[in-house]
Structure 1
Amino acid sequence: MLTGRKAFTGKSQASLIGAIMNAEPAAPSTLFPMRPKALDHVVQTCLAKDPDERWSTAGDVGRELSWIRESHEERASVEVTSPRRSRERILWAGALLVVGLTAGLALFKASSPQLPEPVTRLVIDLPPEHRLVDSFHPIAFAPDGASLVYAATAAGAADSQLFLHRLDRFEAEAIPDTVGARDPFFSPDGQWVGFLAGSAL
């Protein structure tokens, strides 16, 4: 039943009896390599020539077969779970590699020297009728660098005034309500212009 073949063969009754008495049957594992080798021991014990070497009862054979089945199932479960564990290890290794590369890239960017902002040079021609106020800071640049404010006295005017010059335009425009202003400055967000007028801010 294990191999699908007869344990002993003979061309006649006499040769068959001779094979049973003298020949050893082929081990199941030699015919079917996938069979557990422990079954070879069970078959050899059942077919032993000496009656004292055989199993005493069918219960003994059953217990031996149960033990073989359990040990074979345990081995099979280890073989089945082994690839899963190796797959998990590969996934963990991949995840650690990604984390390591990300951290390395972040450290590389943090340690690489930052290029300085390019220096912008420009020449602004004030209108001929404007004369810069003689003060500590007559000019202020906006935080975004797109415009500037200067304090100047226009021709014929008694007091100074602030003028806004956007760098994308040719002409400056007077800022209303800034008569007598000097030392202009921008708010940090660039939305407002402050100045000194007399002793007031």
Structure 2
Amino acid sequence: MLTVNQILDLNWNKVNNLIPIIAQDIISNQILMHGYVNQKSLLITLKTKKLTFFSRTKNRLWTKGETSRNYLKVIDLVTDCDKDTLLALVQAEGDTCHLKNKSCFITKNTNISFILELEKILKNCKNNNNTSYTSRLYKKGINKISQKVGEEAVELVIAAINEDRKHVLEECADLIYHILVLLNYKNIKFIDLIKILKKRNK
């Protein structure tokens, strides 16, 4: 995270004492939005941990989410090598775009963002009564869910021993799906697994 001294040391001369800033989701790496900041908005961002911009059209400071409550919680704030552009690594609370999209930039889901989207779908199935396989599995409880994880793990092992690539991929997808169901049932987020893996990689 930038310090106050580092903020003052940025190159403020290029764009009328403003610096462009890019907000990136720290979990999915998806680019969420672009804006501008001045020194005061950055100091507010450091204090509140909510990304605050300088609006050139409104000619004032504004915190993303001040109306919608879809804040961008700043986890880290870094500068580029020329000290004239900033990257804010954030956790997004709700949709970032005013058009009710996750990002202001329309792109296809990355692999990790698809997992996170699937996690939301599973959570919706958990909380809603419908006839889908996932909802029925949630109703049967943790014993049945755990049993399915075990069954899929065994089937994956058999496929791997038989060296059937297509079967390995299909069984692996089944296992990951059921693991996600189990995690969701236990109110554990996929990002919690990523944090453990990153910690073990140090």
Q: Same fold (TM over 0.5)?
A: no
The structure whose residues are more often helix, as a share, is 2
Short-chain TM bin? under 0.3
Q: TM-score, normalised by structure 1?
A: 0.19
Q: TM-score, normalised by structure 2?
A: 0.19
Q: Whose radius of gyration is greater, 1 or 2?
A: 1
